[in-house]
Amino acid sequence: AQSVTQPDIHITVSEGASLELRCNYSYGATPYLFWYVQSPGQGLQLLLKYFSGDTLVQGIKGFEAEFKRSQSSFNLRKPSVHWSDAAEYFCAVGARSNDYKLSFGAGTTVTVRA
């Protein structure tokens, strides 16, 4: 069964500093990987996705993520955080053999301090 682990429940970062959110997945075949962001009271917005090809993917809002098969990781990064980046971030994995349904990590809450 596929599963996703986000080791950090909460991260606090200063505005302008860099941000890295960790995601580890467990799945036998090549998964489809996603990062979503959820602002308070809002739905989930897709930040970026990895299906195949280049292991460094660019997303919206200045985010990028790198797929590392050897480490079963798909970490999300942003070089310079803005106050509007305060939200909860979810890593998700899907796979053809599992009908593409998404399994989500528990989420990482990001707080941005001035």
Q: Using CA atoms of 41, 23, 57, 98 in order, give the dihedral in degrees to the nearest 10.
A: -90
Q: How far is the CB of 15 from another protein (least distance, A)?
A: 27
**Residues near another protein, by CB under 8 A:** 32, 34, 36, 42-46, 49, 51, 90, 92, 96, 98-107
Q: How far is the CB of 99 from another protein (least distance, A)?
A: 4
Q: Between 43 and 114, whose beta carbon lies closer to another protein?
A: 43
CA 69, CA 31: separation in Å to the nearest integer? 10
> What are the tokens at 8?
């950090």
Q: How far is the CB of 8 from another protein (least distance, A)?
A: 15
